[in-house]
Amino acid sequence: MTGAYRIAGAGRLTPAKTARFTFDGRSYTALEGDTLASALLAHGVHLVGRSFKYHRPRGIVSAGAEEPNALVDVSRDGARRQPNVRATVQEVFDGMRASSQNRWPSLSFDVGGINNLLAPFFAAGFYYKTFMWPKQAWKHIYEPQIRKAAGLGVSPTEEDPDHYAGRYAHCDVLVAGAGLAGLTAALAAARAGARVILCDEQAEMGGALRFDTGVTVDGKTGYDWATGAIAELASMDNVTLLPRTTAFGYYEHNFLGLAERVTDHLPRPGKALPRERLWQVRAKRVVIATGAIERHMVFSNNDRPGILLASAARAYLNQYGVAVGRTVGVYTAHDSAYEAAFDLKRAGVAVAAIVDCREQPGLAVLAMARDLGIEVLTGHAVVDTAGKLRISSMSVARNGGGAPRKIAVDALLTSSGWTPSVHLFSQSRGKLVFDAETQRFLPGTYAQAAASAGACNGTDDVAALVAEAHAAGARMAAEAGFVAGEAAPASAASAFAWTGGMAGAAAGAGADTTVKAFIDFQNDVCAKDIRLAVREGMHSIEHIKRFTTNGMATDQGKLSNIHGLAIAAETLGRDIPKVGLTTFRAPYTPVTFGTLINHSRGDLFDPERRTAIHDWEAAHGAIFEDVGQWKRAWYYPRSGEDMHQAVNRECRTVRAVAGVFDASTLGKIEVVGPDAAKFLNLVYTNSWDTLKPGRCRYGIMLREDGFIYDDGVVGRIAEDRFHVTTTTGGAARVMNHMEDYLQTEFPELDVWLTSATEQWAVIAVQGPKARAIIAPLVDGIDLSNEAFPHMSVAEGTICGVPTRLFRMSFTGELGFEVNVPAEYGQSVWEAIWARAEPMGACAYGTETMHVLRAEKGYIIVGQDTDGTLTPDDAALTWAVGKKKADFVGIRGLKRPDLVAEGRKQLVGLLTRDPKEVLVEGAQIVADPNGTVPMTMIGHVTSSYWSENCGRSIALAVVAGGRAKLGQTVYIPMPGKTIAAEVSDMVFFDKEGGRLHG
């Protein structure tokens, strides 16, 4: 049996197709196409969970993504388990195991229910007042217990066995929502020839047409018309249909994130398909057709299992063939709830009464209720309900007082109207406007190329909705460059014209502040909590939200926010817009971490980059370090050597003979075009139009605030071509920095930028014998000092391979950097090594490189600079063009603070004890005997033992550093204070003669 509440002949599922599942260990049978919620309701199961704070029994409220209560743990074979799954969205599959959450030892008997009796002590904001004292208790008592209590489900401890996928897509028109408005807009755009992506979070497209029996379009039932529209769209090559796909985020420049549930509904998905897929879509135009969300009524004990939204009951009946009860009551402030009562009555379900808090509902629905023999109590309110684990009765009284009347029901449907789903519009930075007539927030000013259509735009009439949606789809296609196609459907109508609105939002909240009239079901926020927040001085809706936690549950306030806003406005005596509106943030519904990171896990979580010479380095014993995503040879220990011994040997060898170093990770950008020199003049501090082809220059790049951003050597290959090098870590951001300025600030310049970091392998040969090592291998380039002096570049061949050869050095020694196409990197390296090794040269790593450059006072951007140093602070004033009228950062450099006396400046440090090596990052003080906390005047940026100097050396930033040359500063360390003399930054070969060989 698929359930005692399944009505034969009702719904759209096939009785012959069944699936078995369990809930809390008990076995049930469902029909294929059931959601977990519809399958449980078919068996009369309404109790599905417990609330977060009070642990009150909670049942299924909705039939969609707005569900606050029915959050369950779903598992299948092995470690496939997912907590906090909305039962209203999760489709049943054969073998599913579902479990309720946030209860112990069982759902029907939960010890945590004691919190409900202690509710007076848990008033809104109690945690702000309770956990403030004593101060010492927070870390050791309060925080551990709060962390244990936090959350509803339990995170899996096993590794996720599923895989996830990602896809980028472009389209002319993206339509979010596939109800009547979305389908109409998609048809209009697709018939015009536009490339259309249509997504909808439900497994079957059609929106409310799946269960709204009163809508007709072009003489067909709404469902039949939707079926035909979907079939037409599916047959078109320019349309992509994405069911089970939620548009969860709307970002800059019409960029949207979509989460597709690919296999969550399959019993045995296998390994070929991902569990979920992240779509990152760039659309020329967007149509938002996300519909509206029905609001519940606020009254005492309105949270009992069996109390649902009226539209949900209609969906369960007409889509899934399930009656939510045998004797149903209705409490409403809107005509739409009547239609749910009518459908249930026609299906043979008893409708005890329709309670309408309004005095004058629509005449048409009153007439139909009378014809069906349903009692309607206008001007009445439900003032309370009874029942322990499921509603058993409702108490009804006339507005303003009177003796309540108790009516037996096993389900109660509520509706206080509909809230347009403006989440995506708001995420796009659109500005909402408040419609005073209908008391709703609607899309107002658009910030992006989009249009809203249908219920999300406040359009209730079906004929008007179809016309609006068709116009939106056609206009978006036209703006994307296509000619509008066929006209809108000839006719569209609904059985009833709805009336009702925000007026009923808080109508049932009542004046009694002691009752539990719930607004936010999951977080147990009541109407009285909103009023208390106002009395406590919270007058902004954002403050009220945080004080009460209203709207902070997993449904993100889809049901509760407008209620909270209306009650706050009523309590404050203000109009609703003056109270404010909470911010709608992405994601629209919860998105799993797996979907967001898709392939970026395991070895791909942080992809490892290797140079073309990596295998040779590994084979020769290199120890590697991570520099960004690159694996770089750190040092090459020989037998019996530790790191320090290996680095000391490498440092001596490079200065005495030569060293070979893999510099392939340096960023390399090709800047080409007639205006290439003009462009570099604008993004670097120094001048480039005076640089002759075949020569190089060191350059500094600043941010607009005047602080150092990156540095590197730039070689001029030809009049219109420059080879720009950057720091390893700065390659991508410098490329983006350049491209950003080229496109936004200097678009008139005729320049092309190409990242070439991976295309060139770079082999640095440094030391007295560097020329002798490479000279026999190089053709087409005269390597003599006269023809090829320091800071030169030339093109030729090495080992028969094309090369760009730079005469430059980051060690202070005679040096060459051999650039060859990456695929020849290892073979050229091996040829160079075959000459270098017999001469007594060594391969050296990044640690040796750091020591050698520090001996010469060469800085590393990002180590010796921290984003707050100017060129003058780093002793690089010589690299700033004195005659330049403009470059990025020139205005920043003129700010008073950046030219003030006493700024921190980069200097050298020599410890009083030559063997004492300072710790990088250590703070520096002027007076070691000062009071604590001491005034810090700087910090150590680089510190090493220098084998070539026979002592420790360090670089540091010190306030007024250059004025302190020869003075002593102090570095407080645990157990001792180290004295050091401020020196210049060059510790080895101060005259620089070794650079010239």
% of the chain at pLDDT higher than 70: 94
CB burial of 942-959 (b: ≥16 within 10 Å; e: otherwise) equals: bbbbbbbbebbbbbbbbb
Q: Where are the alpha helices (DSSP H) in 23-102?
A: 36-42
Cα–Cα distance for residue pair 315/323, rounded to 1 Å: 10
The pLDDT tens digits of the residues spanning 207-219 come to: 999 999 999 999 9
Q: What pLDDT band is residue 499 in, cutting at 50, 70 and 90? A: confident
Cα–Cα distance for residue pair 303/61, rounded to 1 Å: 9
Tokens of 567: 């009650």
pLDDT score at 580: 84
Cα–Cα distance for residue pair 88/566, rounded to 1 Å: 27
CB atoms within 10 A of CB 719: 11
Q: Cα–Cα–Cα angle for 276, 280, 285, nearest 5°? A: 130
Lowest average pLDDT, out of 129-143, 629-643, 663-677, goes to 129-143
Q: Looking at residues 560-576, what average pLDDT do you find?
A: 90
Cα–Cα distance for residue pair 152/143, rounded to 1 Å: 17
Sheet holding 215-217, edge to edge: 220-221, 215-217, 492-494
Q: Looking at residues 849-876, what average pLDDT do you find?
A: 96
pLDDT score at 114: 82
The pLDDT tens digits of the residues spanning 86-121 come to: 999 999 999 999 999 999 899 999 888 887 766 665
The pLDDT tens digits of the residues spanning 697-731 come to: 999 999 999 999 999 999 999 999 999 999 999 99
First to last CA, the chain: 92
pLDDT score at 143: 66
pLDDT score at 297: 96
The pLDDT tens digits of the residues spanning 375-433 come to: 999 999 999 999 999 999 999 999 988 899 999 999 999 999 999 999 999 999 999 99
Tokens of 736: 């983006």
Is 897:884 a contact under the CB 8 Å cutoff?
Answer: no
**For residue 616, which phi and psi values (nearest 5 degrees)?**
-65, -45
The pLDDT tens digits of the residues spanning 294-322 come to: 999 999 999 999 999 999 999 999 999 99
Q: Looking at residues 918-926, what average pLDDT do you find?
A: 96
The pLDDT tens digits of the residues spanning 581-599 come to: 888 889 999 999 999 998 8
The pLDDT tens digits of the residues spanning 168-225 come to: 999 999 999 999 999 999 999 999 999 999 999 999 999 999 999 999 999 999 999 9
Q: Which long-range contacts (CB under 8 A, 24 or more apart) does 148-153 make?
A: 152/49, 152/52, 152/71, 152/83, 152/84, 152/101, 152/102, 152/522, 152/554, 153/71, 153/73, 153/83, 153/84, 153/101, 153/102
Q: Is 427 left (phi over 0), alpha (psi -120 to 50) or beta?
A: alpha
Is 912:833 a contact under the CB 8 Å cutoff?
Answer: no
Q: Looking at residues 66-84, what average pLDDT do you find?
A: 89
Q: Looking at residues 894-920, what average pLDDT do you find?
A: 96
Lowest average pLDDT, out of 53-57, 231-235, 389-393, 494-498, goes to 494-498
pLDDT score at 63: 97
Q: Cα–Cα–Cα angle for 259, 294, 84, nearest 5°? A: 40
